[in-house]
Amino acid sequence: QKEVEQDPGPLSVPEGAIVSLNCTYSNSAFQYFMWYRQYSRKGPELLMYTYSSGNKEDGRFTAQVDKSSKYISLFIRDSQPSDSATYLCAMSTSLSGGYNKLIFGAGTRLAVHP
Partner 1 sequence: GAVVSQHPSWVICKSGTSVKIECRSLDFQATTMFWYRQFPKQSLMLMATSNEGSKATYEQGVEKDKFLINHASLTLSTLTVTSAHPEDSSFYICSARDRRISYEQYFGPGTRLTVT
Is there a cis peptide before residue 81, judged by omega within 30 degrees of 0? Answer: no
Rounded to the nearest whole angstrom, what is the least distance from the CB of residue 33 to partner 1 in the complex? 10
Pick 16 or 39: Cβ nearer partner 1: 39
| Local structure of 82: helix, strand or coil | helix
Pick 49 or 75: Cβ nearer partner 1: 49
Rounded to the nearest whole angstrom, what is the least distance from the CB of residue 16 to partner 1 in the complex? 27
Binding site for partner 1 (CB under 8 A): 6, 8, 32, 34, 36, 41-46, 49, 88, 92, 95-96, 98, 100-102, 104-107, 109
Name every residue whose Cβ is closer than 8 Å to that of residue 4 and which is 6 or more positions away in sequence: 23, 24, 25, 26, 89, 90, 91, 103, 104, 105
